Amino acid sequence: MTILLVEDDPKTALFVTEALQRQAHTVRWAATGADGLYQARNDETQLVIIDRMLPQMDGLSLLKRLRQDGYCGPTLMLTAMGDVDDRVEGLEAGADDYVSKPFAISELLARVNALLRRPAFLGDGFKPTRLRAGDLELDLIERTAVRAGVKIELQDQEFRLLQYLVENAGRVVTRKMLIEGVWGLSFEPRSNVLESHMSRIRAKVDRGFSVELIGTVRGAGYQIRA
167, pLDDT greater than 80: yes
Mean of all residue pLDDT scores within the chain: 85
pLDDT digits (tens, 9 = 90+) for 5-50: 999 999 999 999 999 999 989 999 999 999 999 998 877 888 999 9
What is the distance in angstroms between the CA of the first residue and the CA of the last residue of the chain? 34
Q: Which CATH superfamily is domain 2-121 in?
A: Response regulator (3.40.50.2300)
Confidence class for position 126, pLDDT limits 50, 70, 90: low
157, pLDDT greater than 90: no
82, pLDDT greater than 70: no
Look up the CATH architecture of domain 130-224.
Orthogonal Bundle (1.10)
Domain with CATH 3.40.50.2300 in the chain: 2-121
The model's pTM is 0.55
Domain with CATH 1.10.10.10 in the chain: 130-224
